[in-house]
Structure 1
Amino acid sequence: MNTSKFNLGRRGTKTQIPSLVNRPQSRFDPGLHNFVVTHSPRVSLPANTKRPQTSSSISQQQQFIQSRSESDHHKNHANSTSPVNLYGAINNNVNSDQIIKQNDANANNNGSNHHGHHRVSNFEKGKPHSTPGVTKFAIQSSSSFKHNLNGINHNYDQSLDIFLGKASALPLHAALEQFFRQHFEAKMAIVWQEIPHLQLLYSSSFNITLSHSSGLVGYSFVSRGILKAFNPSDHPAYDQTVDEKFCSPNSPVVIFPLFDYRNNISYVIEIIRSTHSKEFTDVDESFIEWFARKFRVLSQWLKIEKSIDPLLSDIMQLMRRDKFLPVVRAKIAGFFDCRSSDIFKYDKKANKIIQYGETIETIDTSNAGIVGDSLLREQMVNVVRTKLNNNYCPDVDKFDEPMLSLPVSDSDGQTVYSIVLRGPNRSAVFTKDDEDLLKKAAPFILLGFTNSDTFSVIDDEYQNSRNEREGLAALLEVVEVISSQLNTKKLTELIMEKGRSLTNADRCSLLVVNETRDRLITSFHKGLENCIDIPINKGIAGKTVMEGKALNIADVYETEFFDSSTDMETGYRTKSILSVPIYNHLSEIIGVTEMVNKLNDKPFTQFDMKLIQIYNVFCGISLENAKLYQESLELSHNLRSFFDTAFTMSKSKLSLQRVLAEILMNAKNSIHAEHATILLIDEAAGVFSSFFSSLDHYPQTFPITTGIAGQCVKTRKGIISNDVYSNQFFYRGIDNFTNYKTHSLVATPILSSDGAILGVTEITNKTSGSFTKKDMKTLQAFSTFASIAIENARLKNIVEFGDSEIEMKKYIGKSELSSTSIPTNLQLTDAQKLTVTSLNCFAVDFQGILHFKELFYFFNLFKLLETFEIPNESFFKFCFTISGTYNDVPYHNWTHACDVTQYVTYEIITAGLTNIFTANEIFGLMTAAICHDANHRGFNNIYNVKAQTPFGILFKDLSVMEMHHITVAIPIITRDDINLFHSLDSNETKNMWSLFISLILATDMAHHFELVKKGQGILDEGSFSFDIPENRLLGLQLVLKVADISNVSRPFDIANKWCDILCKEFFRQGDLEKESGIGLTSPLNDRENNDKPKSQIGFYNFICLPLYHVLAGIFPPLQVNVDSVKSNLEVWKSMVPPASPS
């Protein structure tokens, strides 16, 4: 089992505890009640010292511990040697006399006579002191002390035997705690395991943690020495919040570290006696030092590591990744006794991270949380609480809990995996044991993971290869049929027979939609004497046509829509049916194939369905375009690409991007080229848009006249160039941009069914040889597929959104759709802007798209699109849709709506109404101006009521046409893809609709005199206060009413033209009134007896001037319009011939 491809610890942990080799260590002097510091340097094992090999088996470790215990008990101490150890240059088996001599020598060398102790008088002030030359703890040199040591030393080996016995039966921390508690007759012994990555010490027994510098335990850890205290609370490092939980005052305590064979601290031991018990002596300390030396030598064999064999037995089984992941995640979580586990993969080249958890998700490297940080730095991360980490991301790191992430680099260095453990079930943190065990298991886990990946790929390739081989064989036979048979009926019969054979069906039928698209007729059948002719919505075939999807039915008699009449007529028993629709190039269903009764008495499979869908594509092609089959014959060596393309296009739910990408890649592979690109034309921006390219970093857009693609559009012909750098039309900028060298190129236009150029397909750099005319024909065939796909997508858009989608693409680029700034192609010229903001504007001159440009300019002028967050796409659709409701009548048409909106804009600017009314009010006024005559039929309210038109009956006692205009406008304004008022809150929306409706209702001439009288009455009473809501509404209503009859205030030549247009509509209504016999509703409608000057004089005097006077009284700057009306009135008066003398 090769796990060398994975590298653990590729980078070392950056945060390490500083070496404290020269830091003094403390001992407690029971005589002086002071703390004594002894120097315990860190010393490594000699280079020539051989360490026993680590055993991977628990039983082997237990045997070793037992044998070691027995050998130590019978060992000749005088002849044994040991490497230099933690507490000084003393061999493992020295006797008490040697200890005394060594320490007497140290004492004499240091000139100390304080009963063998080294005092530090200023230690309590936090200033440790060490005496030069002191390399070992100080021991009393009295003869009695020597005698005691001699007596005790003989029991050390027996104590070691006791400890080893416990270590073989218990976890190491439990063995240590039990051993020291019994040996020292202590109340409690606590083992604190060091967790370097967390900078913490952890007690398994109490499931708690301490920082490296917390309290007495932390002091012993940092000083790397023995801390002995009779009264712990007197020690300067005593921390009540930490130490009081275990060390009550007057409870003797001794704390010391245990080092492993690498001279790293593995554990800190805290031994506590009951209150007022005897203190720990120097003899105890000597035993501790002796035990520490033994522990360091034996440390690599003492801990019985958990075997990973049970885990390996599951994860090394070969299976697909979708089956492997749930199994291995559960096994890892169970093995490490944690809540859950995940696997992450970081691909450096692609710069992406994939999480293999309950689901497989791709994660942004910039927001990948703690796991991402571990992967990017390739360092193990162990955290106590995820939310306290600076890199925490809730989507990746999940709950606030301990987490351990171990990164493992692949041998190529381009992929980094991480195994993540979350939420230990029985401990507060993940310990160093967990870290070590995970490091040991990780290469095997990831080997199993990569094996499952490889197996999945191989299995997929095998299945796909088998399907492709079968499909390709079938297609090759279709090619033979096409080459030898031009009769469509016989051709289809042979194709369907092969399909029946491949699906192992008993019978098959082809039902074709008739020309009137109301019936289905069998053009090929087996087992029937006569053709079947059924309604298009009958039976399973009918359901297939109506729903436009394939049906795979295991038992047709369990379905309510199966037509059993054929079975009854023929005596044949139908059980299973595979019914698949056939589409033409317009995505219209032209027929249905039915495979009947699979011969093995099983239902048809998913592969059967896919295969018949592919065949039906070719059936549709043969029925709709025989020429395409002939071209397919000439390109027989490329049929595998056509197979893939047809299969892709049969998936109606695929996006246009996916379909074109599949078509393009099939073309590239078929022609044997390096790269391929589809460029679509953006008519609005006048550029090519790189819809899809196999080249990285291809420009998003470039001018439509650029390069060979531009020449292709210009000539409408395909182009072959096998030396592009000698071609005058080749654009080298793309090569510079992509850092790719183009040598040869073939390009062909993508033509729609009506001959319009939709874009260009380009194939670059043939892998061998040069591009030929045959390659051009192949590319043209694929371009035909692309054209069909594009047109189908556009047809779907038209069905969903209407013609506005097509029109909008002409004037608004993709990047401008979501903007609120005026699109480039909808900008007015400076001269046009001056015209549309003045009185001298004749709306008839602004036809077609110019009206749209006007409206975009008006709404942008008052910042309505920006303020109310209306993107260009929504506003264009609103203008397009509302304009479509206006009828082609002489006067009350779309031009009149834009004319009224232009005059409202002129009034707002002239009177400074933006300083008086709110943005909401201006927005409502402008919107009402656009919609105020929506779907006007050219007849006034009197006619509708009198002629009893549907509108007249429906709104008889109301403002007939105005109510109709409102009911037409509301659904358009609220349509999901328009929704002009979407940015308003509920209260604002209610007020906006109230304003909108009130403004349009005010345009009813039936309310004219009432509104004028109301306004004049307020003016007669004094000033017109805009603080009164009713006055504000009245002011807005009058502004719109004046705009509705604004023609009378424009320069006379414009006013006269509008008069003629209005008369046409009056005469049109008058003619109908005469024909229907209801009589003329107004003298102005009489074509034969029309006196234009007189009618205008009356209109000006009785209707217009009173209204204009009131509005000028409210908004004085609009007095200029009153003057203009009066000026025009004088011209009309001058046209009236003088009265003849009576």
Structure 2
Amino acid sequence: MSLNSPQLSVPIVEEWLDSNKEALYEIFLRKADLSLINKWLLIHGYSALSEVAPYPTKRGSLSNESSNPSSPLDKGDGFFEGRHVRQNSKKFLRQDFAKSKLKSMFRTYEPTSTQESATESRRSSLKEMRMFRSLPPNSVNMLSLLIQSRVRLPRYPSKDIDHKRDLRDQNEKEFFLEIVKDISNDLDLRSLSNKIVANMSVLVDCDTGSLFVVEGKLGGRMTLVSKLFDVHSGTHILPSTTGDGGVTVPWGKGIIGYVADPRYNDDVDKITGYKADTLLCMPIRNADDEVVAVAQVINKTESPNGFTKEDEKVLATYLTFCGIAIYNAQIFEAYSKEYERNKALLEVVHDLFEEQTSLDSVILKIMQRAVALLKCERCSVLLRDGTSEASIICSIQKLNLKRKCVVTSFKKVFDLAYPHKNGQSIQSQDNHLSDNRLGNKIAELVLITGETINITDAHSDARFDPESDRNTGFHTRAILCKPIRNRDNQTIGVAQVMNRIDGYSFDDHDDQLFEAFTIFCGLGINNCVLYEEISLAAARQAVALEVLSYHSSVSAEDIVRLKVQKVPDALTLNLDNFKFNDFSLSNDEMLAAAIRMFKDLGLIRRFRIDYEVLCRWLLTVRKNYRNVAYHNWRHAFNVCQLMFAFFKKTGMKRHLSEKELLALVVACLCHDLDHRGTNNAFQQKTSSALAQLYGTKATLEHHHFNHAVIILNCEGQNIFGNFCSEEYGEVINLLKQAILATDLSLHIQVRHKFFAMVDSEMKNWDDRESRDILRSILMTAGDIAAITKPWEIQRKAADLVMTEFFDQGDKERNELKIQPQACMDREKQDELPRLQLGWIDGICLPLYKALNKLDSTFKPLLDGVLANRAAWEVLDAERLAKDSVIATEV
């Protein structure tokens, strides 16, 4: 009948087809060919198909693995299920290559009922797998490009379970070809596992199945891990029961572990609540005949007698192809991990060269990368303290190691905890080796031996100290510890990571990767040390240039004038009097008085000091004091005069050696060399060259000492020139201790020991520690002795001190834009009496009371403090009364 006939026209046919959709679909599926489908796609703006699935689905639904979303196939139309879109020539090449390989593999499969045919089929497939392993030279590059570009080989579109079951009943050979093609190009192990389990369930007609992949070969503790398990025959996928990777079965445990063991391990049943009646479990092998996975199917649905020999043969044949797919996916996964690791190492290198000014920042960045890439719970870096080395013979238990080595401590410990496990924390602190909070016993062994330690179970290893876990609450399972070496291959520290997050021990890949991290860590430390050395050198140069620009050497005329000048006796100058007037002598008279003190203490004669050298040294010392209000040459001389009085009026001299007397006198004259009129806190606030050079502890005092050494080392100015090297080193150390003792923060740390010794009425001060404390106390007592002088002298000295303080406060307010302390705030100068009372009660009175208790000849100093306190108290009362009147008037 023609469509042009009046009985059957085109509109009538269209109307009938519109009202009979199922007939339309059936006609299209039977009659349409590839050219017709491509014509329709091109007309509607889609890409042409490479092929069309030859079988319609029973339900007309797509699987979860639907392909390219650029065509209407993803909209769920039943017509177009199973299409494969070609979008570019590169995909054509990859797809055709994969298809050619699949065709060669398909030829190896011939359905048979004999065991010999199945064996021959397996051998042929293994041969193809070995051919796959013999990758061409550029295969690594291809994998790298795939990983880097995130491009994947096109997957064969999966059919749903019902379609596969129908195809199995209609044509077994086509069904087998279908399920092999289903897994041919899938490089994602989780997705591949899902497909394999679903296909096995249909292949042997079972209720549920599982696939366990072998993991942990390199770590020494192999296990079977299922990313997905218990996939029922009527479902596509079920989520795993654990958050990061399914069920884990120990190697060799139960049927899954042993595969052929007659015992059944019901651990999985306990997890899922599923009861297994019949079970078939088989290994999946790679080209080297190694087990790479274990497949398990449970409960034959249509046979009460369980799985048959035929089921075993069919499943064994299919698992051969599964071995090929799993092997390809594992290769891709391994290369993906290697790519990510190399990328991370490049990022570490970038971080290393981006930040070289801070050791803490460099190590923190490296540890953050290590924790993220190694996926561990904790990372620590312990840097060796090279200042406390001692050569001994070490005998290390459990290692049977006896060798000459270096015992040392860790001066810095950096600890980074994985945020999701322990709360992120970063520590940089001074630690001694006896501090085992971070498991330092293992680190000590690595530091001594220079060899890597990899512990799989810390608490069963005799080298691990469990006390560290009890102290921190951190449970250590696995430890990987390596030495950090510098460019000279010397061990400068130790790096360690603890506890892989997945629970496994650290394997060879982790070891190699962490080795790279320790190399980068060594480079980073080396670069930071070099940078710090350069910074110190620059700061040292800046200080030296500043000093040289301010000071100049003394003239020969000045030396001759002082050398021939008549030096008055001590009685005339009143040098041995505690009430000495600090402002009674001129600058030149103070030089002569200093020579008198050297003479009367017998220092010139005892140490054979050249008189001209002494004159030149004194002139240079005076020249190197700046013109500031208080901390100048006059203050240095006044401190020396008090020390001279201590030796003449009290019994302190009998407790000290002659070298100590010399060091104390020299220290008094040098203790404020090149003082700038600002304190240590100001150096730190302004990040001055002095703060960069000497650090934050006793900044100015270190500068004063170094400046004194510079003067001594100048030609013709070394008053210690007749000492042997040992004596010279001894007196220089005494000089340093005495100058540093003038830092009040150090005095606070020492005085409680002195007070305890005095309270115990100790008479013997002959031991080294006692004399060190006594010298420090005498230096402080002389340095602050202006508070003990008659009121007129004390008040004038206080005004000079406050002049310096107010100048510093002005700089802080105007230059640093910060509020100065009350004692340095010019706007609060009326509070001087109250501040002085606090100074006397907090520092001065306790010190001079202790000295008076030690030796009653110090009583004039204590009396002077008490008299001045009473005077300041009167002024403070007047201030309070004045403030009260003003408040009343307001």
Q: State TM-score, norm by structure 2.
A: 0.36
Higher relative contact order (CA 8 A, sep 6+): 2
Larger radius of gyration: 1
Whichever structure has more helix as a proportion of its residues is 2
